[in-house]
Structure 1
Amino acid sequence: MSGFLGRLGEWCARHGKIVLALWILVAVGLTAGSLLFPGPVNNNVAIPGTDAQRAHELMREGFGPGFDPGGTVQIVLHSPDGLLTDEPRKHAVERAMDRIREIPHVVKVESPYRLGGMAANRQIGMITVRLEGHDNSKLAETTRKLSAAADPAREAGIEAVPSDTGTPADKEIKTGASEAIGVVCALLVLLFAFGTLVAAMIPIFTALVSIATGLGVISLLGHVVDVPKQASIMATMIGLGVGIDYALFLLSRHRKLLDDGLEVHESVRRVGATSGGAVVFAGGTVIIALSALLLAGFPMLQTLGWITGISVVCAVLTSVTLVPALLGLLGHRIGALRLPFAGRRRPADDSSGWAGLGHWVARRPWGVLALSVAVLAALAAPALALGMGTLDDGYGDRGTESRRAYELKQAGFGPGMNGPLIVIADLEEKVVDREPAPAVLQALEDGVAAVEGVAHVSEPVLNTGGTAVMVQAVTEFAPSDPRAVEVVEAVREIRIEGASVHVGGEVAGMADVGARITERTPAVIGVVVLLSALLLLLAFRSPVVALKAALMNLVSLGAAFGALSLVFSLGLGSGLVGMDPPVGVDDSYVATLFFSVPIDSYIPLMLFAVLFGLSMDYEVFLLTAVRQAYLKHGDNSRAVAEGLGATGRVITSAALIMVAVFVAFIAYPDPMVKIFGVGLAVAVAVDATIIRGLLVPATMVLLGRYNWWCPRWLDRILPNLSIEGHEEEAHGEEPERELVGAGRL
């Protein structure tokens, strides 16, 4: 593979104008296509085989318009200066309802003046709009139209806030200034690392081309698959980070070879054969980790995983083709526009800096190992308190309509109104005679009302086919409250003769998601670890290195989850990352900075996949340098120190870029993005410093030549996919040593 990548890189360097033009055409064409024919986005929250999914399927069977997921929109009304029942305000509300009826797909408008439509204080009420025949993927757009139709109420001094039945995961996530902030921070790091503006702009340019291409593909895919709303933001976060990092590694290697006196095209060839192979393998581990989410059993997470992987594929492709093309076009002008006091290069044999750290670790590996383990254990310990739950709209940004509607409904009707339960009894025998009312209707209502924690139960409704009965139950708890899940479980235990009870709604759905993901998590983790270890085994032909790398990545994940637990579950600084405290928390300064936030059950698994892949990137680059040094002279301790010295500065720069990008995304108002930003930033920072700078070198020194041990039988059957390249000028013959009872070293 290294030979092919070397030839590919050299060809791209010699035909730089063609390659550059092709990439620009692809990026511009896909971007234009996505703008002209944007694909719809839709979070498929269906969870096949679960009780909530069965309830949602029954909801569509003859209960009338609007009784299906995404079929209801509420306009929450609040009259701060008087009662909604006062004649002028009532007249304004009725005019608003008349305008709402004119909106396409509206089949029923329920007045706030009906029973249960208004709070006891008569200052808060709800217009409930039932929709039919609309596009659920465009529910946000439909909601905006319905909200605009309520302007007559606003003109009368009534606050009118829309609230749809989508989950918090469905809320539209718009990109904004965070990408620009991340790019600027990355540029500053690159300027400091390279000292020249031209060199610093190469990774930025290639990453932007990669992101534009990936986002264009993802948008157009929306026409054929359900693309989650989070796909674009996740693709941007990951694509921007890895795109800059991969180009940075290639560029650093190229500049070193130029300094050694190599001709430009020969240097590019060697860069492709060595660092290019490392990029491909590093990207492959990220894609493998993301693809393993296909085993999660949650369609939205499955799709989010492989679609996010598209951005990584684009980053790898631009790195091994566009970067060599730019290097060939620029030639020695890569060092133009040099900045003073930045990017100074040290001699290769300089013992200071990262090389010095490598020698220091090699002299005291046991002490460094003990210190690293102690620090990492302390960082990971809080992960034991990681709190799972439902991240409802009560944790959204206070400036959003969804948050305001949540607060008004809670104030007027109680916290459970923000996540009512849909309880449906599937009848074994069809009801033919509806007069008098079948006993099963009353049995269902009485059974649900008797459950502890249920505050209100609506009148039971029999569907048109006489095959199912439905009631809506409002609990005493907010959707994010764990006690709401206990109510769901208790309702599911209700036994009615001749019927089976199913529970749907946001709370029940997220509870089933959590159960499904908990069930599938061991399989996902096992597949990710095994396939990533296999890829490293193919790359380095060392079982010890492969297994150790997988273990090191799990350690960095522990630190990331520990940070998430500290910030969100334990609430130590949740306000500092821009989270607004939920309803009921006092407005004191301390309370607005420290409060706990539940973490949706699918987020840790998604983080695991992303972080495992990203952590493997740095492992691949470090091990590549160590093995290259080992192949020169066969001295393991010296090879570890030289490998750390050769990659330490580059890995640190790459990590700083990723951390800057991820921290920038914490500014997003969406809580899910904030959680991802914190977890990714902490994991990358810990991985590039404590783990790659101390723990990995210490373990490699202690293992000695066992690092590169491979049984003879395994060495014979493994294909030759070395990623280091085989330039005779750079490497000598591989030293061969025998271990007693073992294989080739």
Structure 2
Amino acid sequence: MSTIEEGPLHSVMGRIGGFSARRPWLVVAAWLLVAVTVAGLVLTFGRVTDEDAALPGSAAQHGRDLLEAHFTGSQNATGQVLFRSAGPPLDTAAVAAAAQRITEVEHVAAVAKPVLSADGRTGYVDVQFDLGPRAVTPALTGDVMDAAATGGIETLPAGALARPESDTGRSEAIGLVVALVVLVVAFGGLIAASLPLVTAIITLVCGVGAIGLAGHLTGIPSVATTLGTMIGLGVGIDYALFLITRYRALLAAGTARPAAIAGTVASSGSAIVFAGGTVIVALGGLAVAGVPILATLGWTSGLVVLVAVAAATTLLPALLTLLGPRIAAPRVRDRPSLWGRLADRVTRRPWRYALTSTVLLLALAAPATAMTLGQTDAGDDPAGSDTRAGYDAMAAAFGPGMNGPITVVAELTGPAATTADSRLTALTAAVAGTAGVASVQPVRLAGDGLVASVRVLPATAPSDPATLATVDRLDDLHVAGLTVAVTGQTAIRGELADRVGARMPYVIGLVVLLSALLVFAAFRAPVVAAKAALMNLLSVGAAYGVLTAVFQWGWGVTWTGLDGPVPIEAYVPMMLFALLFGLSMDYEVFLLTAVRESWVRTGDNARSVRDGLAGTGVVITSAALIMVCVFAGFVLSSAPVVKMIGLGLAVAIAVDATVIRGLLVPATMALLGRLNWWTPARRPGRGTPRPRTSGSGASTR
């Protein structure tokens, strides 16, 4: 059985590197053509997002399906336009005129009669579209709000019109600037430092652009493009950093440039393919959760990682060829590095460092035992944002439940009904008498008389756990001759949280198993594979603990730009688990590749651990610092979910690259000794090192 350094993948990647070195202009032109095409399509058609939640197999989804099947137009988007006066009551004639103008906007099917608050200073109109939620583009929202504009009256969007705006430009700029500074320091030159940024930008244009275009075909939440941007910047820069470091090391060893490029892609490129493949496999594990939004976030993020791997292993070698001698080899320093000295300390006292780092990681993870899953709403957005302004205005004028209406759907089990059917009267009375219900609108009966619906306004906000309790009570209603189901975004998201909690152990088990198998395939060492999985669980646990302490308990939450504690969105922990497990394996593969090369060369376990840590410490630190800054920059986003993902990723990567890779992994490898590389191979001697005459020095990938 072959390993990552000598298997078929090594040979294939070597040929890919050789082709990129022989035909650099062709490779660069192909990438530019793809990037320009994707960018042109995005500029022409735009990016479409869909915040609508769906949960096949749930009771709430069943109720929604009944509405769509029996009520014409119920599958189309509905938004609200709010009118607010800071002084006297609203001019009802002006509001009516605005409503009339809205009806003339293309794709507006109907505008309901204005509804006024008790004090007359706030009102709203329901705007029914003839399009589904995905088709309500920012341009269409702008047209509606322009038509609603009325002098002296403030207008605010709500519902399908309150689309979350992308405000990640500042985060992306911070990530790129920090990355450039770190790369200049690491490479000692601006030209070499700019190459990882070029590949990362190409990755963003192609990968994130493709996600935006996919929104025209299927539901893509806005967080998907944000997450794709985060991942694209992080891995796009990191993979290029690893390759350039290896390339310069080969040049320093006297290897000719064409051979150095082919050798770099063969060795480092193979490791990158394994690392990227681990991320993609981990994200693919989200599909077993049975939650569409997780599956969508999984494949969209995986697409960006795939593009990053392709750009790093084809575009970057071509650019290295074109730049020629301007990518100078690094100057070799004889004095021991900081990481080399740390490696000496850790391997001399492995028990001390293993126990200390384990205690620290468990302390960071401890708050995760109190984590509860919930759902955020626009009321959790930072004050001053458009979505928060509309939410607050609606809640102040009409009650908090106005932002999260619930729909009770009833199937008639007997004959078709008429509007005077006593069963409908009993349904309305039962719903109105349920604890937690603030108001009930008149019952609606489908044209076929087989399904009825009642729109309910709860007394509490959508993200309040009391609202889910109200949903449960409504779901338990028993009315003679009716079968009741409760639906709406609040109800669906509540069931989503329950399903995520129930299936999370299965997803964790699958991702851990698949990732461990990939590491085993790379190194043919089951002990190393099992240990890698355990280490990654510790880094994920630390991220969970920090998330719980900050967002759920409110420790320092105001530093993130939020007013106070917010619920941890149900799908975030599972998404973070898959993503972090994959990204953590990246550094694991990087370090283990260097350790194993030294082990094969020397047969000395302690020395191979020291060589591996000393040879990769600077690169891992640089790569992790870039990724941490990129992820942390997204905490500046206005969306609480983006803040959670950004902070969770930043904490986990920081912990992984310092405590785990710098202390715990080398300490445990020093303790395990030759057992690290034991393999259940049948032929004798397969687990023993074989001296090599070439490739001296710890690998940098």
Which moves more between the two structures, 637-646 or 403-412?
403-412
Which moves more between the two structures, 615-624 or 102-111?
102-111
1:164-193 Cα distance to aligned partner (Å, 9 max, x none): 247x8x634354222122111100000111
Pairing partner for 1:75 from 59, 74, 81: 81
Q: Unpaired segments of 5 or more residues in structure 2?
A: 1-8
> Does residue 1:128 correspond to 2:126, yes or no?
yes
Cα contact 2:136–2:160 (8 A) shared by 1:
no
Equivalent residue, structure 1, for 2:35: 27
> Does residue 1:244 correspond to 2:273, yes or no?
no
Cα contact 2:265–2:313 (8 A) shared by 1:
yes
> Does residue 1:164 correspond to 2:159, yes or no?
yes
Pairing partner for 1:519 from 502, 516, 525: 502
Cα contact 2:50–2:133 (8 A) shared by 1:
no
Cα contact 2:168–2:634 (8 A) shared by 1:
no
- Paired with 2:138 and 2:374, the residues of 1 have a C-alpha distance of 25
In the superposition, relative to structure 1, how do residues 39 and 648 fare at CA in structure 2: closer, same or farther (>3 Å)?
A: same
Cα contact 1:198–1:335 (8 A) shared by 2:
no
Shift of residue 616, structure 1, vs aligned partner:
0.5
- Paired with 1:121 and 1:531, the residues of 2 have a C-alpha distance of 60
In the superposition, relative to structure 1, how do residues 413 and 136 fare at CA in structure 2: closer, same or farther (>3 Å)?
A: same
Which moves more between the two structures, 497-506 or 531-540?
497-506
In the superposition, relative to structure 1, how do residues 216 and 151 fare at CA in structure 2: closer, same or farther (>3 Å)?
A: closer
Give the aligned residue type for 1:611: L
1:252-310 Cα distance to aligned partner (Å, 9 max, x none): 11112212222212222222222111111000100101111111212222122112111
Pairing partner for 1:657 from 626, 636, 650: 626
Cα contact 1:381–1:562 (8 A) shared by 2:
yes
> Does residue 1:415 correspond to 2:396, yes or no?
no
- Paired with 1:565 and 1:509, the residues of 2 have a C-alpha distance of 23
- Paired with 2:32 and 2:72, the residues of 1 have a C-alpha distance of 52
- Paired with 2:72 and 2:10, the residues of 1 have a C-alpha distance of 63
Q: Secondary structure at the match of 1:503?
A: strand
- Paired with 2:71 and 2:25, the residues of 1 have a C-alpha distance of 63
- Paired with 1:225 and 1:447, the residues of 2 have a C-alpha distance of 38
Using the size of structure 2 for normalisation, the TM-score is 0.93
Equivalent residue, structure 2, for 1:739: none
Pairing partner for 1:187 from 180, 198, 208: 180
- Paired with 1:104 and 1:11, the residues of 2 have a C-alpha distance of 52
Which moves more between the two structures, 280-289 or 260-269?
260-269
Shift of residue 731, structure 1, vs aligned partner:
6.2
Pairing partner for 1:366 from 338, 348, 351: 351
Which moves more between the two structures, 501-510 or 448-457?
448-457
Cα contact 1:368–1:698 (8 A) shared by 2:
yes
- Paired with 1:485 and 1:183, the residues of 2 have a C-alpha distance of 42
User: Paired residues, what number?
Assistant: 688
1:432-477 Cα distance to aligned partner (Å, 9 max, x none): 554xx11111211121222211111222222211111211111111
Alignment of 1:106-117 (within 5 A): 106-112=108-114, 117=115
Q: Secondary structure at the match of 1:391?
A: coil
Equivalent residue, structure 2, for 1:119: 117
- Paired with 2:372 and 2:172, the residues of 1 have a C-alpha distance of 29
Equivalent residue, structure 1, for 2:6: none
State the percentage of identical aligned residues: 46
Cα contact 1:385–1:570 (8 A) shared by 2:
no
Shift of residue 319, structure 1, vs aligned partner:
1.3
Q: Secondary structure at the match of 2:511?
A: helix
1:122-149 Cα distance to aligned partner (Å, 9 max, x none): 2222222233356643255433322222
Equivalent residue, structure 2, for 1:346: 333
Give the aligned residue type for 2:572: I
Pairing partner for 2:265 from 258, 261, 272: 272
Cα contact 1:541–1:715 (8 A) shared by 2:
no
Alignment of 1:607-686 (within 5 A): 607-686=576-655
Equivalent residue, structure 2, for 1:377: 362
Alignment of 1:50-449 (within 5 A): 50-63=58-71, 67-68=74-75, 71-84=77-90, 89-112=91-114, 117-133=115-131, 136-138=134-136, 140-152=138-150, 155=151, 157-165=152-160, 171-173=164-166, 175-335=168-328, 345-347=332-334, 350-434=335-419, 437-449=420-432
- Paired with 2:572 and 2:261, the residues of 1 have a C-alpha distance of 40
1:37-57 Cα distance to aligned partner (Å, 9 max, x none): 446433452211111111212
- Paired with 1:667 and 1:571, the residues of 2 have a C-alpha distance of 17
1:661-701 Cα distance to aligned partner (Å, 9 max, x none): 11122222222211111011111000000000000001101
Shift of residue 482, structure 1, vs aligned partner:
0.8
Using the size of structure 1 for normalisation, the TM-score is 0.88
1:61-119 Cα distance to aligned partner (Å, 9 max, x none): 45465x44x532212222221123xxxx122112112212222343433333xxxx322
1:352-406 Cα distance to aligned partner (Å, 9 max, x none): 4111111110111111011001111111111123232111000113233221111
Equivalent residue, structure 2, for 1:743: none
Q: Unpaired segments of 5 or more residues in structure 1?
A: 337-342, 582-594, 733-745
Shift of residue 31, structure 1, vs aligned partner:
1.9
In the superposition, relative to structure 1, how do residues 76 and 693 fare at CA in structure 2: closer, same or farther (>3 Å)?
A: same
Cα contact 2:376–2:566 (8 A) shared by 1:
yes
- Paired with 1:680 and 1:714, the residues of 2 have a C-alpha distance of 42
- Paired with 2:571 and 2:170, the residues of 1 have a C-alpha distance of 26
Q: Secondary structure at the match of 1:41?
A: coil
Shift of residue 36, structure 1, vs aligned partner:
2.7
Give the aligned residue type for 2:95: V
Equivalent residue, structure 1, for 2:16: 8
Give the aligned residue type for 1:17: W
- Paired with 2:498 and 2:137, the residues of 1 have a C-alpha distance of 27
Pairing partner for 2:668 from 683, 699, 703: 699
Cα contact 1:107–1:132 (8 A) shared by 2:
yes
- Paired with 1:232 and 1:379, the residues of 2 have a C-alpha distance of 30
> Does residue 1:534 correspond to 2:521, yes or no?
no
Shift of residue 613, structure 1, vs aligned partner:
0.6
- Paired with 2:12 and 2:204, the residues of 1 have a C-alpha distance of 25
Q: Secondary structure at the match of 2:454?
A: strand
Structure 1 vs Structure 2 CA RMSD: 2.4
